[in-house]
Amino acid sequence: MAVPGSASEVMVGPPASQVGFLGWMRRNLFSNIWNTLLTVACLYLLVMLVPPAFDWLILKAVWSEAPPETCRAAEGACWAFIREKHRVILFGRYPFDEHWRPLLGICILLTMVMVSCFRRFWRPWIALIWVGGLFGFFALMWGGDIAVNYRTVAVLAGIAVLGVSFSRRAIASNLRSLFLGIAALLLILGIGGGSVLRGLDSLLGFVGAGPIFAGLDGVLFSIPLGLSYVPTSLWGGLPLTLLLSIVGIVVAFPVAILLALGRRSNMPLIRTVCIAYIELIRGVPLISLLFVASFLLPLFLPRGVEINDLARAQVAIILFSAAYLAEVIRGGLQAIPRGQFEAADALGLGYWQKMGKIVLPQAITIVIPPIVNTFIGLFKDTSLVSIVSLTDLLLATKDIAIADVNWRSFYAEGYIFVALIYFVFCFFMSKYSQYLETQFETGRRRRR
């Protein structure tokens, strides 16, 4: 019984040892003997490492523009090296006077990505931003004249038909597959163009088809851009790394969804093909895929067919990541209770409606962390394209910046600089994944 004035009526707070900074330390750092030992050991390491690192990185470092000799005399890091070489690290072998073009290219790519990060922009029209952005990027990087031929027209028409076929009410659903077929045909003709058909011609030897299709490559008219032409072999540095990883992510994701659905399909043929693909690709390292794409594939292609180096590396990255991503997404699919499928079935939803509206939105939400994990891996794996002589960020640092005889001893600074660039992008992805989780978590927390 609480008697007025007795102790039980007075508000009793927790003891001082449990609250405030001291309480926090006691609970988290010194809760038992092992914890205390660990805390002391960590403190010792920090004291040993941090001050010298701070000295080298900042206090004793050469920050101003300076010749290599000054750096050698100094005890700290040589940031003068980065000042001198940052442009070749960032842009590789791209012509020095034209560096504004890849810089603008990076801005275009990053703007596209930033816009796509906001959930409220997840509307069909965002595809237009991507098509336009990538077109702008390539126009800038390549320069020269934009030659408009039948292939370009076919690609544009293909994209347009694709867009129409996905608009909900524009067409009845049984027409959709027809539209999709037309779009696919246009895109294959446009992208593969004369070379694919000429290749077929030289393989199969039905004479006469070649010249007809070669007409596809005929230039209708060209738009001069007023920029000098820069072939992809000179592209390099950050724009290359960003292009490979962004296009890699954007294309690999839908491919992975299809693979994951295919692996769970009831149709034995589709299931077998998907399983075979996933297991085969996962069974080999990315390096070997890049190698095959760059050096072996040309040997097997028929005469007259050439595929750009960059495109080959890009395709290898997409095929590789899609296989890993497919397994991640399959994990999410398996976490969806059977009742969800049954409810969708019972309402009469078709397969794609059931997957697109009910199953995938839930499945992908569950596996956001491992998906982003795969994306981060893909981003860093793009550095492997250096073995097929594409000058990505890392190779530009190693082979152009550090290869300079005068600055050779400052490789550590060079690698720290690229590491920082990689870190910024990976950290952004990691943070964005947390943002997405909280975005979708709201729905889930309500579920209890």
Residues of this chain that bind other proteins (CB under 8 A):
337, 339-340, 342-343, 345-350, 353, 357-358, 361-362, 365, 440, 443-448
Q: Nearest approach, Cβ of 358 to other proteins (angstroms)? A: 6
Distance CA 405, CA 407 (A): 6
Distance, C-alpha 305 to centroid of its chain: 28
> Judging by beta carbons within 10 Å of its beta carbon (0-12, 13-18, 19+), is residue 73 exposed, middle or buried?
exposed
Phi, psi of 218 (to 5 degrees): -60, 135
Distance CA 189, CA 63 (A): 54
Q: Nearest approach, Cβ of 330 to other proteins (angstroms)? A: 19
Task: Round the CA-based radius of gyration of the chain to a whole number and report it.
Answer: 28
Phi, psi of 181 (to 5 degrees): -60, -45
Q: Nearest approach, Cβ of 338 to other proteins (angstroms)? A: 9
Q: At what angle do helices 100-117 and 126-142 cross, to 10 degrees?
A: 170
Give the N- to C-terminal CA distance of the chain in Å, as an integer: 38
The HSE-up count of residue 395 (CA atoms within 13 Å, CB side) is 20
Q: Nearest approach, Cβ of 362 to other proteins (angstroms)? A: 5
Pick between residue 408 and residue 444 the one whose CB is nearest to other proteins: 444
Pick between residue 149 and residue 365 the one whose CB is nearest to other proteins: 365
Q: Nearest approach, Cβ of 253 to other proteins (angstroms)? A: 19
Tokens linked to 331: 């994990």
Pick between residue 116 and residue 340 the one whose CB is nearest to other proteins: 340
Pick between residue 209 and residue 349 the one whose CB is nearest to other proteins: 349
Identify which of 358, 370, 361, 357 has the alpha carbon closest to the alpha carbon of residue 331: 370
Pick between residue 303 and residue 446 the one whose CB is nearest to other proteins: 446
Pick between residue 6 and residue 266 the one whose CB is nearest to other proteins: 266
Q: Nearest approach, Cβ of 271 to other proteins (angstroms)? A: 18
